[in-house]
Amino acid sequence: MSLNLVLLFAAEGDDSAASDLQWFEGIDWVGCLSTFGVACLIMLAFYVIARILQSASMRVGASRHINQDLAEFMGRVVKVGVLMMGLVTALSNLGVDVSALVTGLGLTGFALGFALKDVISNVLAGVLILIYKPFVKSDYIKVKGHEGLVVSTDLRYTVLRDEAGAKLYIPNAMLFVDALRVSSEAPESAESS
């Protein structure tokens, strides 16, 4: 009796292995490989387009005399945006339901926008300051009780040197939103120190 039981389990094991093998044999390998190849070609095409648009945006920035760091930043933003569109297109070609992915990315962007609102406002103000150039290095500016000689401007802060020689890091959003007094030379009280 125990021998019959062992043979019964062995026979059932052969059936499950055979059904697993049938599932494996039922895959259309040519169709899968062609779909995967098309998705890879889509990503490659979007990568080439992203590189072309990145270099074009950097050339436009250079021709408009925009700060080189800003031009490179804008080029990277363009490249990442095009690559994200390529990834969504390739995943859609593979049969992945991208509507949930796009919705999730939208909600994530919304949450990050609220969480990083001050950082984003400073970066965007920095971009606009670097584009419009309301002041240049070595100008003397006064904003909201802070004043000094402009040492440098980047995407987040503008660095001033005050009368005492201390560095002041002014957030770009403050410079872009509040009234700003710009002069090409420091007032007499600042020059005498």
0.75 surpassed by pTM: no
Question: What distance in Å separates the CA atoms of residue 185 and residue 149, rounded to the nearest whole number?
Answer: 8
Among the residue ranges 74-83, 127-136, 179-188, the one predicted with the least confidence is 179-188
pLDDT reported for residue 58 = 87
pLDDT reported for residue 53 = 95
Domains annotated on the chain, with CATH: 28-115 (1.10.287.1260), 128-191 (2.30.30.60)
Q: Which of 168, 129, 174 is nearest to 150 (CA)?
A: 168
Q: Which of 98, 96, 90 is nearest to 43 (CA)?
A: 90
pLDDT in tens, 33-77: 888 899 999 999 999 999 999 999 989 888 887 777 788 888 898
Is residue 61 exposed (0-12), middle (13-18) or buried (19+ Cβ within 10 Å)?
buried
